[in-house]
Structure 1
Amino acid sequence: MVFKQTLQKKSKRASWIDTNLPETFRPYAHLARLDKPIGSWLLAWPAFWSVALVTDDFGSLPKMLAIFGWWAIWIRGAGCTINDYFDRDFDKKVERTKSRPLASGALSPAQGLCWLAIQLFMGLGILYQLNMLTLVLAILHVPLVFAYPLMKRITYWPQAFLGVMISWGAFLGPAALEGTIDPKIACPLYVASFFWTLVYDTIYAHQDKEDDAKAGIKSTALRFGDLTKAWILGFGVACTIALLLCGIVVNIGLPYYGLLIVATGQLAWQIFTVDLSSPLDCGRKFVSNQWYGAIIFSAILLGKLNS
């Protein structure tokens, strides 16, 4: 009981949104999870990886990272908004989510949909300066973003659908820089991100497994149960093999493989040490994936510079 009360107090702690934004804008910022950037990082990393993997002009790298970083922030916000729109009745039944703007009534469903349209415009609009293939791929990505929240009602594998959706950036980098997609590069990177997603989002899902079971929401956390660590270990191995294949395909330099070992250690640390009965620890391990993404990005960058 003491632990649960401590966790609830932590979740209610004011964020920078509450202390720095005008009251009118706060519900919209909370709806987009602007105070929780981990989701934007997880959407951005596959795009950042792919840009670093295919670029030969490192002078253009900051601009491309800025473009896809902007895209990730707004599209992730749109994804959170549509998720909360569909889940507003479910969220009322879950301790961690009942204070979200649409569940609590701070925003109406109509206001949520208007905010969704603004975020899509902001996220997709920046891609107009790139080529048509990149823009088309980004537009095709939007239905996947919209469909993801519905998967938890249909299948015990919504985390797999999230992997399909959130790994899309693996295709955008090659499209933006080369005007085409080389499957030998993009596909292993996409597969690696897919299995990585299954690791971190299964850990994330264990935060809410009791409430989810009561509400009838499905997840891999409920599907795997006591076998979760065996499953996510297999996903982690598949992710590492795919990243190893990426390096071999592009004939990348040795620093890539050294840092890949470091990243694999970080992923192994998550898998072997996470306390799946502790929502707090699951949340910490989930957030640590921003560093896994950063290590892989650094590995690609240094590997390319030394190839």
Structure 2
Amino acid sequence: MFFSTKDTGPVADAVKLHWVDTRLPVSLRPYARLARWERPIGWWLLLFPCWWSAALAAIAGGNGWPNPWHLVLFLIGAVAMRGAGCTYNDIVDVEIDAKVARTRSRPIPAGQVTRFQAKVFMLLQCLVGLAVLLQFNAFTVLLGIASLLAVAIYPFMKRFTNWPQLFLGFAFSWGAFMGWAAEFGSLSWAPVFLYVGGICWTIGYDTIYAHQDKEDDALVGVKSTARLFGDRTKPALIALYALASGLFAAAAMLADAGPAAFIGILAGVVHLGWQIVVLDIDDGDQCLKLFRSNKIYGWILFAGFVADAFIAWL
């Protein structure tokens, strides 16, 4: 039977009392947990590069705001493909997840769903993502398909390199290309700089996230930048976030952005600096809160880009 009837409770790091765990029918809860619906920060982090790119494209194209239809499509696509990616990750990592305190409560190692059920659910989410992708021009469709390579290899990187966060950045920052391509049917240097900046940002925030698991990761042999940087995490974050901010500024300049965009980037620097100052790498709960705070950072940059497009249009 496809629908699960077993519910062993919420995943350890889920948002407490989320509607997934309180209102959704019991049979559907494991699938919602596979897709991380009760942890929405993931799809926000996947979505923001798309929205930033769409906003920069609006600036470059002289439009007053990003294409609203594109923003909606990116939102639906981000939820679907983040869910599909997480389901794929859980299928690949089930043996590791069963050995780590924070992840052993995930649906597959907890016995809430089988691998076959998870694979079927992953396929359904991919079909939703494909339906969204096909709404764009042919160049954007091909670009979206190309992103699957980064998605496919990411779960395996923690076994071979200290830089799995780099490969997560390759996948999660891909939207920096998509928003621009959806508007123009091509790419230029602005989305390239936005993409590389997004990779640096991703390495930074996911390093903070990975500090939750560093002891268990060491025991099971999982590699991460959290383990690599160790006590040098704060200097590493300064370098990564500074580079990300500089690259975002370069992308804005290449898109012919005005002052509002750079004010947004500067406000974002303040937020990232706050993360670094207050970070305690040995406090797992705080690491999770700081990781989630990157949703605020995403909104700051997006607001600056949208404001700039609107001001220039007036």
> Aligned equivalents of 1:19 and 1:270: distance in 2?
31
1:252–1:306 contact (8 Å) kept in structure 2: no
Residue of structure 2 in register with 1:150 after alignment: 156
Q: CA separation in 2, counterparts of 1:178 and 1:214?
A: 48
1:5 is aligned to none
Structure with bigger helix share is 1
Aligned-partner Cα distance in 2 for 1:111–1:33? 16
Deviates more, 1:70-79 or 1:243-252: 243-252
Alignment of 1:100-139 (within 5 A): 100-139=106-145
Measured after TM superposition, the shift of residue 170 of structure 1 is 0.7
Which secondary structure state, in structure 1, belongs to the residue aligned with residue 67 of structure 2?
A: helix
Q: Percent identity?
A: 40
Structure-to-structure mapping, 1:1-307, within 5 angstroms: 13-55=16-58, 56-58=62-64, 61-182=67-188, 184-307=189-312
Deviating more after overlay: 124-133 vs 199-208: 124-133
Task: Say which is worse superposed, 284-293 or 241-250, in terms of deviation.
Answer: 241-250
List gaps (5 residues or longer) in structure 2: 1-10
Instruction: Report the Cα distance in structure 1 between the residues aligned to 2:93 and 2:103, rounded to whole angstroms.
Output: 10
Q: Distance in 2 between matches of 1:60 and 1:240?
A: 21
CA 217–126 in structure 1, closer or farther in 2 if over 3 Å, else same: same
TM-score by length of 2: 0.92
Tell me the secondary structure at the aligned position of residue 159 of structure 2: helix
Name the SS for the 1:256 alignment partner.
helix
Shift of 1:151: 0.5
Q: Which amino acid aligns with 1:156?
A: N
CA shift for structure 1 position 247: 2.0
TM-superposed CA distance for 1:305, in Å, is 2.2
> RMSD across aligned C-alpha pairs, in angstroms?
1.6
Cα shift at 1:9: 8.1
CA shift in 2, pair 1:249/1:59, >3 Å: closer
- Tell me the SS of whatever aligns to 1:306: helix
Whole-Å Cα distance in 2 between the matches of residues 303 and 215 of structure 1? 48
In the aligned structure 2, how far is the partner of 1:57 from the partner of 1:245?
Answer: 20
* TM-fit CA distance, 1:283: 0.2
Higher relative contact order (CA 8 A, sep 6+): 2
CA–CA separation in structure 2 for the residues paired with 1:274 and 1:212: 20
Alpha-carbon distance in 2 for matches of 1:167, 1:39: 12
Deviations 1:220-262 (A, max 9, x none): 0011111111111100110111111122212211112222211
In 1, Cα distance between the equivalents of 2:34 and 2:48? 22
TM-score normalised by L of structure 1? 0.94
Q: What residue identity is the alignment partner of 2:22?
A: T
Counterpart AA for 1:64: H
For residues 84-111 of structure 1, what are the alpha-carbon distances to aligned partners after superposition, in whole Å with 9 as ceiling and x for unaligned?
Answer: 1111111111111111101111110111
Measured after TM superposition, the shift of residue 60 of structure 1 is: 6.2
After superposing the two structures, state which structure 1 stretch, 60-69 or 169-178, moved more. 60-69
Tell me, yes or no, if the aligned pair for 1:74 and 1:120 is still in contact at 8 Å: yes
Structure 1, unmatched stretches of 5+, are 1-7
Shift of 1:141: 1.0
Change (3 A) 1:20 1:61: same
CA apart distance, 1:269: 0.5
Shift of 1:11: 5.8
Residue pair 2:63, 2:310 contacting (<8 A) in 1 also: no
Shift in Å at residue 18 of structure 1?
A: 2.0
Range 16-25 or range 29-38, more displaced: 16-25
